Structure 1
Amino acid sequence: MSRRHSVNRPPTPDVRDDDEDDRPKEPTLLEIVNIKLIESGEKERLMELVRERLVECGWKDEMRALCRAFIKKNGRENVTVDDLVRAITPKGRASIPDSVKAELLQKIRTFLVSVAH
């Protein structure tokens, strides 16, 4: 249920838990790693590596074919980008080759070791 805001007053803030205070939250380990990857430029290099590997193994062509089949089945006028994303994403994630995942994981581990020292 969405809350409608009055035109005459600002929205009422959400009720806070008693446990909360005004101190900033500590970033999680995942957030810290992500920040380090971005700051170093390594995240973009890894993204490019994954793109290359997915093209090389035919994954990108496979996803393109799945999209075309979905559009043909449902009719071009009846398909939105959101429909495509919902239909193809689970298949796309499940079909990424283990070798690509393993290579990416190894590159991330190597990066973490290099920044830890």
Structure 2
Amino acid sequence: MSKDSQMRAAINQKLIEMGERERLKELLRAKLVECGWKDQLKAHCKDVIREKGLEHVTVEDLVTEVTPKGRGRVQTLICSKTTQFCTLKQDLRLLK
């Protein structure tokens, strides 16, 4: 295990022990809803379904199509809000 992986694991474990990991995840969820991220991804899903047709799209298709856009949009929204959220994004990377 690399030093970076060990550090991430230690930080993740400490956040779990302190109950901060869940609090950070909830804060992020709330901010994503507040800034319209969830609604934008929902609209994108509807567009994909419209393009491919309901009978020709699977959940896996939607996940494959929407995941990159969702991840990219999260980074854009978080960093465009405040420095606090840029810091939160960096902290959340440690949780992966």
Q: Percent identity of the aligned residues?
A: 47
TM-score, with structure 2 as normaliser: 0.75
TM-score, with structure 1 as normaliser: 0.62
Gaps of 5+ in 1: 1-24, 109-117
Which of 60, 66, 71 is the matching residue for 1:82? 60
CA RMSD of aligned residues (A): 2.4
Match of 1:35 in 2: 13
Letter in 2 for 1:41: G
Alignment partners' CA distance in 1, 2:6 and 2:54 = 43
Letter in 1 for 2:88: L
Alignment partners' CA distance in 1, 2:33 and 2:88 = 15
Q: Which has the larger radius of gyration?
A: 1
Alignment pair present for 1:102 and 2:86: yes
- Taking CA–CA contacts closer than 8 Å with sequence separation of 6 or more, which of the two structures ends up with the larger relative contact order? 2
Gaps of 5+ in 2: 92-96
Alignment size in residue pairs: 84
